[in-house]
Each structure stands twice: as structure tokens, then as C-alpha cells.
Amino acid sequence: TVHERVDTFHDNDQKPVGYGRMLRKEDPRFLRGRGRYVDDVQLPGMLHLAILRAPVAHARIVSIDTSAAEASPGVRAVVTGAMLAQQGLAWMPTLSNDVQAVLATDKVRFQGQEVAFVVADDRYAARDALELIDVEYDVLDPVIDARRALEPDAPLIRDDLEGKANNHCFDWETGDEAATEAVFARADVVVSQDLVYPRVHPAPMETCGAVADFDAVDGKLRLWSTTQAPHAHRTLYAIVAGIPEHKIQVISPDIGGGFGNKVPIYPGYVCAIVASIVTGKPVKWMEDRSENLISTGFARDYIMRGEIAATRDGRILGIRTNVLADHGAFNGTAAPVKYPAGFFGVFTGSYDIEAAYCRMTAVYTNKAPGGVAYACSFRITEAVYLVERIVDCLADELGMDPAELRLKNFIQPEQFPYTTKTGWVYDSGNYEPTMRLAMDMAGYAELRREQEEKRARGELMGIGIAFFTEAVGAGPRKNMDILGLGMADGCELRVHPTGKAVVRLSVQSQGQGHETTFAQIVAEEIGIPPSDIEVLHGDTDNTPFGLGTYGSRSTPVSGAAAALVARKVRDKARIIASGMLEVSVADLEWEKGAFHVKGDPGTSVTIQDIAMRAHGAGDLPEGIEGGLEAQICYNPSNLTYPHGAYICVVDIDPGTAQVKVRRFIAVDDCGTRINPMIIEGQVHGGLTDGVGMALMEMIAFDEDGNCLGASLMDYLIPTSLEVPDWETGFTVTPSPHHPIGAKGVGESATVGSPPAIVNAVVDALKPFGVRHADMPLTPSRVWDAMRGQARPP
């Protein structure tokens, strides 16, 4: 169901734009199985690489014997950490200024860590030889629980770091502690709640992999890899490996889903590069599903305490939180250097409050590295979950309707741009209409009546609300960089003589439809049909530098770059048109696709005429060079702050504790909407992620550190059977600083839906006196919640 209602329009020269539901340009390729993914790359003489992984979570390596593996048929090379160490390549920097072992030399620090690799003629020979490598381990006590990590007698994980005496990773705080203390002291009501956001995995359909091809003659390395940030990866490879940057080409071809999983540089990529250099042949490495689930970028793993202070009549005064963050064995998070906890600073949500404070401690544990932002702007998912759960706890305490409590505390439209109590500047927002639309679509009052009747009959029905504000679109570059690389994006647009065009982006699509939407943006600005505009991305030799796609930053940053580069081309086209029509530029009017003389619409030239003239014979106006192209690097002045109102309705079977999501209403506001069909797809996918996290997904470990989520048999992800027919709607509050008013949307639904679902489940369990239950709300957890705090309905 789609409810279309536009509540806010552009009111300046960016009139409502004609973006629309264009079918995806990339779909003919994908639907016919003609996509070209990393594993489709076949090069002459290509060898295959397989990685030996640690069977235990924490152990000293006593010895490694590779002789039997080397003698195995088809094996070309066997490489250990000790061999890499001789070249200074055993360790690599992470995107968080930590270091991570490419292959373990001293100890293994998580189950699944890379210990050695084999290169062989085919994948089977490589895998068979792995079993012939004999590693002797001296097993050590592991640290699995983040709370255990800080105990004085906890085993030390990172003894590779000089002077490191404990498992502490970093501390971080934001907000005003004293001011928050003061509002809590004078509040009528204070509610606190412990919450766990469990470790989950982005689990893209395509696992990670690479094909490395080092040409010893011209010294050039070509690397096809599953990366969401090809340019940033190239620069880092150049710095680490010492290969000149212009001699490295990173190609990120079609990508089968990223969701943050493909942002970090994984040891496997580096192993493939080393293997190609050592063997002189192209080398392919492709993870299997288990390798992906146990060793690459996990997300979340936050233990939080949320506290909220309010007046008796429901005015929220302050929010305070304390977080223990589990970063695994190596801190592999990608987050702007100045924000080690990412954008957790927006934990104050959509509410106009007086004070806020957050303190966080991060630790190392014997688990896979990461803290990647899974469909999330660097920890925003955790922040939204925290605030939207504790607001519900407050509503429960006050005996107030959770919708009413939210409506009462929203930041008001005239308060934008709004500086939060932790210093972020929300660019624009108009929250009440979004909330009201969601309530209308849900039939909120009617649902509450239905719930009352059902409760009287002993049936368990819950209604959950979440209202989120997100921060997406990192930079600006002065505030945000990853390892010193500023978060800005380049864009180039070239119009060919016949009026067709090519736009080159620094961001990289992983299935979000960029080939369509970026063509639409350029088309809107320059009047060339989207079908005549080719979008190129994901190849560092053919696209301008920029920091890549994650945290829904493509539209806020590169989308702005695409609009601005098109306007730059249009400005040049205007001057050429003035020459063609023999009038001054001031006498020209732009109408999508053509300039005409003011007051004389019949006298005009199209953009196609101008393109031919720009490349053709004859003089151009003075000072104008031939060709019709431009290039820019866009540095956003702020993030964009999309918002949304989500309402979830669940039924719980009292006999089995099975939760069924019966309805889900999602109203998103991402400013100007470029392609509503693609946005809906993004929202549907994100909501499905939310059902997974709220009800099914968790990467758990046993006390020895064995990963219990190593296959999709154990790590459950939702299918169409577990999700309802999504009901989506939207409002439009443009971003004031984005050239077309667009905000990001890709991750919104993943961020906003888990608290709505958990709030609904807790609401259903109210008759049992339940105020909170941690995700994932599996039948056994719901059953425990029902029995643990049983109170007769």
C-alpha cells in the first residue's frame, strides 16, 4: 500500500522537481543474470587462494608446518604470518587507527582469524591443502563478555600493542554531565533501563572477495574487489604496500549487497595482492558463507543503560546514557576519526530537551573485529534504539500514550536548524505531520480499541511506535575524515557531441539503483533524458576521488555533486547558447532541455544543439573552450537529517510465544524524492532487516568463543514469510543546504524499525508486567519474559 501525500514543498528556485518512478536502468542486466560480480572475473592463468582460519578464539601459535600442504597437488604457494612479517606485511592499519593482523604471527585473537593461506591451481586444491597445514596452538583463556574484558584479572588480548596492560579500547563522552545531573535532580520522574543491542551481521548475499592481478612488467596492480569505497581502499593500499597510487586500479564491479560489510579492508584482500605478487599470476579469493559470517564486519554489540528524566505531565527534560561497546579483537570500525563512537551523539532523538550526556567505554574481546555500520551511519542505529525504547519506558511509567508523549516533546518546525544538546545541527524537520500521517494510516485510535477488546479476552496484541531522526551524508570534510581522507565526493559530467552524456561518480552502488537515480538527477538539471546518461562508478581509473558509499551518504554527498556539476555544465551551455542565438546570457531562459530567448519561446536551442556546437566547427563565445564537460568536488556543509514515523502491530501466540508482525506502517521523510519506487525498495529492505534484528538475528558465542552463528542455518535472516505487506507513506521536508533538497534514505528503515517492533512486543506483554525484553525476541525470550514477570492479566 502506498499513501502519497506531500506536506512540504520547495519554496525557492528548486521548485518541485519531476523526479519519478523510473524503472531501474540496471535491471535488464540483473534480471537476466548478466551482472558481473567479482566471482565472475576470470583471467587467463588465474590461481585460487584459500585461507586457513583459527579454530579457537585465543591461543598462542607454537609452530606451523606447511610442508605437507606445499607438496599437495596443484599447490603453488603456502604463506604464513612469519613470511609476511619478513616483508613488513603481517599487520595492516584498520580504518580506526588500530592495527589488525593480516595473518597471525604471535597469537590468534578470535575464532576464524586468518592464520595462513594456500594458492593453488583451483579452489578445490587450495581448500584440500589447507587441511594439511599443521598448526600447534597453546590455548589461552578467551574474553567473550565485554563486561569481563575490564576486570583486572582478565586475560590480555592485545599484547601486540606496546605498553598495553588491559583490554580497554577507548573512552568517549558527549554532552554536558553537570547540566544533565541538574535536570535529573529536579525531575518529577526518572526512568532507567538496561538494553543490549546484540551483535548482528549485515549478511549480504554476495560474500567478500577479490581478484588481484599484479603485472610485474608495468608494475601495475589491478584489484577487482567487493568494496563500498574503492578510492579510499586504493589510497590505503598505496600507503601500506608502497605501490604508487597511480599504479593501482581498484575495480568494484557489480556488488551483491554491502550494508557496511564491504567497507573495511579485510586480510583476504591483502593476501590476494601478496599472492599475485609472489606467484606472478592473477589470484582469486572468495569467501564462503561461514567465513563471511565469522570473520568479517559484525555490527552493534552495545550494552547500554538509558535514563530519561521528565515532568509528571510528560515533558522530557534530559537523557543520559552509559555504553559498553564491544569492538572485538581489532578495532576495525569505519567512522570519522573525530567520532570514535560514530554518530551515537544523536541519541537525544527528535525531542527538544534541556540536557543530555553520554559516556562510553569500548573494549577488546576475543571476537571478530569490527563494529561496522550495518545499514547505519556509524552507530546511529544503536542511538535510535536507545532513545525510542526509553521514551516508551517513560510513557509506561507515566501511564501516557506513547504517541502522545512523542507529539508533546517534538522539536518544532520553527526551531530548525536545531542544535542538539550534544552539538549536532539538525538541518530541517517537521515531525508532527509525519507522525500524524502514520497514525492516520494505521488507524491508531481504532487499533488501541481493538487492543483493549483483545486484552479483555486474554489475547496478546501490541502496538509499537518509533520516531527517528537520523544523521546521514558524512562530511563535512573539516569535521569528518577517515584516516585523514576528508569525507567529500568528486563528480565529472561529460556531454558528448550528439548530446548523450556520461557522469562519473566516486560512490559505488551495491544494489541501490545509482545508475538510475544519478541519471535522473543529472537529467533533471540539464534536460537530457536519463536513458541518454550513462552512470560510471566503481573503477578508480575512470572516476574521480571520493570516499564511497555507506551510511546513506551517496545522495546527500554525491547526489549534490551530480546536481552541481550538471549546473556547471548548464552555465557553460548558456554562454554557448547566447552565441548561437546572438543575445546576451541575461536574455536567455532555461526550460528543461533548451534555452530560449526571453519573451520569444520559439527562438531556442536545445542542449543537444549546444553540445554539437561545443564540439563542432565555428567559433565559440570569447573565453569559452570547446567541449561540454565539468568536474567538481563537493564538500557538504552539514549532514542531512531525514526522519520517520513507524508503527508496528504484532500478535503474540500465548501458547508458543511466537511473534507475528501483522502490520507495519512506515512514513519516511527524506526531503526531495528522486525515485519513489527505489525509495520504497530501500524502505522495504530496511524494514525486513529490522524484523531480522528485532526477532531473529544474533551472532552469539559460547564461553570458549566458538561462534554460534556461523551458517544461515543458525543465523536466521527473515524471508517473505516473516514479514507483512509493508504500508509506506511519506512527507517531504527538503534539506535547506542540499542543492536539490534531498536527504539520504537507504538505511532509515533498518535504523527505525527495530525499536518499533520491540516496543510493540513489549506493549503486547504489558499484561504480564513486562517493561523491557532484549532483542532478538525469539519465542524462547518472549516466553521467558512472559513467565519471568508473570502477573495475571
- Selected from 142, 746, 755, 776, the binder of ligand CDP by CB under 6 A is 746
Q: How far apart are CA 225 and CA 276, in angstroms?
A: 14
Q: Does 549 bind ligand CDP (CB under 6 A)?
A: yes
Report the candidate in 382, 374, 376 with the shortest Cα–Cα distance to residue 321.
382
CB of 561 to ligand CDP, least distance (A): 12
Cβ-based nearer residue to ligand CDP, 195 or 229: 229
Compute the least distance from the CB of residue 256 to ligand CDP, in Å.
Answer: 14
Place of cell 534504539: 385
Per-residue x/- track, 701-730, ligand CDP (CB under 6 A): ------------------------------
Q: Which residue has the cell 548478466?
A: 34
End-to-end CA distance of the chain: 35
Binding mask 386-405 for ligand CDP (x = CB under 6 A): --------------------
| Binds ligand CDP by CB under 6 A, chosen from 105, 430, 554, 608 | 554
In degrees rounded to 5, what are phi and psi of residue 99? -120, 155
Contact residue for ligand CDP among 675, 728, 733, 750 (CB under 6 A): 675
Structural contact between residues 258 and 550, judged by C-beta atoms closer than 8 angstroms: yes
Residue 682 binds ligand CDP (CB under 6 A): yes
Is 671 among the residues that bind ligand CDP (CB under 6 A)?
Answer: yes
Helices (DSSP H) in 347-494: which residue ranges? Answer: 380-398, 402-409, 431-442, 444-456
Half-sphere exposure of 555 (CA within 13 A, CB side): 32
Q: Which of 758, 762, 750 is nearest to 776 (CA)?
A: 758
C-beta closer to ligand CDP: residue 140 or 670 = 670
Which residue number, 371 or 551, has a Cβ lying nearer to ligand CDP?
551
Query: 3-class secondary structure for 614-673?
Result: HHCCCCCCCCCCCCEEEEEEECCCCCECCEEEEEEEEEECCCCCCEEEEEEEEEEECECC
378 HSE (CA, 13 A, CB side): 29
Selected binder of ligand CDP within 66, 94, 469, 672 (CB under 6 A): 672
| 3-class DSSP assignment, residue 178 | helix
For ligand CDP, the closer CB: 29 or 766:
29
Within positions 312 to 341, which residues make up the interface with ligand CDP, using CB under 6 A?
none
Q: Shortest distance, CB of residue 679 to ligand CDP, whole angstroms?
A: 5
CB of 554 to ligand CDP, least distance (A): 3
348 in Cβ contact with 319 (< 8 Å): yes
Specify the stretch interacting with ligand CDP by CB under 6 A; choose among 295-303, 338-346, 549-557, 573-581.
549-557
In whole angstroms, the minimum distance from the beta carbon of 358 to ligand CDP comes to 26
Contact 497, 355 (CB under 8 A): no
Axis-axis angle for helices 402-409, 431-442 (nearest 10) = 160
**Cβ pair 605, 595 in contact under 8 A:** yes
Beta carbon of residue 505, minimum distance to ligand CDP (angstroms, whole number): 10
Cβ burial of 741 (10 Å; 0-12, 13-18, 19+) is: buried
Q: How far apart are alpha carbons 356 and 176 in whole angstroms? A: 6
The partner residues of 356 in beta bridges, in order of sequence, read 319
Q: How far is it, in rounded angstroms, from Cα 59 to Cα 684?
A: 43
CA atoms of 789 and 494, how far apart (whole Å) = 66
670 binds ligand CDP (CB under 6 A): yes
Q: Max Cα separation, the chain? A: 89
- DSSP letter at 370 equals B
Q: By CB under 6 A, what part of segment 502-521 binds ligand CDP?
A: 512-514, 517
Enumerate the β-bridge partners of residue 214. 221
- Pick from 329, 564, 695, 742 the residue near ligand CDP by CB under 6 A: 742
- Output 273 or 376, the one with its CB closest to ligand CDP: 376
Amino acid at 502: V
Total residues at interface with ligand CDP (CB under 6 A): 23
- Which C-beta is closer to ligand CDP: that of 534 or that of 714? 534
Q: How far is the CB of 477 from ligand CDP (least distance, A)?
A: 17
Judged by CB under 6 A, the chain residues 606 through 665 that form the site for ligand CDP are none
Which phi-psi region, left, alpha or beta, contains residue 691 (left: φ > 0; alpha: ψ -120 to 50)?
Answer: alpha
Q: Is 553 in the site for ligand CDP (CB under 6 A)?
A: yes
Which residue number, 158 or 537, has a Cβ lying nearer to ligand CDP?
537
Q: How far is the CB of 299 from ligand CDP (least distance, A)?
A: 15
- Nearer CB in complex with ligand CDP: 175/556: 556
Sheet holding 209-215, edge to edge: 75-80, 114-120, 47-53, 283-286, 209-215, 220-225, 248-251
Please provide the DSSP assignment of 451-486 as one string.
HHHHHHTT-EEEEEEEEEE--BS---TTT-EETTEE
Stretch that binds ligand CDP, among 389-397, 435-443, 621-629, 677-685 (CB under 6 A): 677-685
Which residues have C-beta within 8 Å of that of residue 478, sequence separation ≥ 6? 486
261 binds ligand CDP (CB under 6 A): no
Binding residue (CB under 6 A) for ligand CDP from 229, 395, 674, 695: 674
- Closest by alpha carbon to 785, among 657, 635, 593? 657
Residue among 572 and 743 whose Cβ is closer to ligand CDP: 743
Q: Which stretch, 94-102, 151-159, 235-243, 742-750, contacts ligand CDP (CB under 6 A)?
A: 742-750
Is 745 one of the binding residues for ligand CDP (CB under 6 A)? yes
Question: Which one, 578 or 750, has the nearer CB to ligand CDP?
Answer: 750
**Shortest separation between residue 31's beta carbon and ligand CDP, angstroms:** 17
Q: Within 135-154, which residues bind ligand CDP (CB under 6 A)?
A: none
Separation between Cα atoms, residue 640 and residue 17, nearest integer Å: 19
CB of 346 to ligand CDP, least distance (A): 17
The least distance separating ligand CDP from the CB of residue 305, rounded to whole angstroms, comes to 31
Q: How far apart are CA 668 and CA 434, in angstroms?
A: 8
Exactly one of 66, 180, 276, 555 binds ligand CDP (CB under 6 A); that residue is 555
Q: How far is the CB of 559 from ligand CDP (least distance, A)?
A: 6
Q: Which stretch binds ligand CDP (CB under 6 A): 29-37, 463-471, 654-662, 672-680?
A: 672-680
What cell was used for 668?
A: 519516511
Query: In the structure grid, which three cell numbers stand for residue 122, read together?
Result: 583451483
The C-alpha atoms of residue 549 and residue 472 are separated, in whole angstroms, by 11
Establish if 673 lies at the interface with ligand CDP (CB under 6 A).
yes
Check if the beta carbon of residue 207 is closer than 8 Å to that of residue 281.
no
Residue 366 vs 672, nearer CB to ligand CDP: 672
Let me know: does 460 contact 652? Beta carbons within 8 Å.
Answer: yes
Pairing state of beta strands 59-65 and 114-120?
unpaired
Contact indicator for 74, 161 with CB cutoff of 8 Å? no
The rounded distance, in Å, linking the Cα atoms of 51 and 103 is 9
**Site for ligand CDP, residues 46 to 105, rule: CB under 6 A:** none
Interacting residue with ligand CDP among 64, 679, 694, 782 (CB under 6 A): 679
527 or 530, CB closer to ligand CDP? 530
Taking the complex as a whole, the smallest distance from the CB of residue 537 to ligand CDP amounts, in Å, to: 11
Name the minimum Å distance from CB 432 to ligand CDP.
21
Shorter beta-carbon distance to ligand CDP: residue 3 or 60: 3
| Under rule CB under 6 A, residue 552 binds ligand CDP | yes
Q: C-beta of 106: minimal distance to ligand CDP in Å?
A: 38
- List the x/- string, 219-258, binding to ligand CDP by CB under 6 A: ----------------------------------------
Sites of contact with ligand CDP (CB under 6 A): 512-514, 517, 549, 552-555, 670-675, 678-679, 682, 742-746
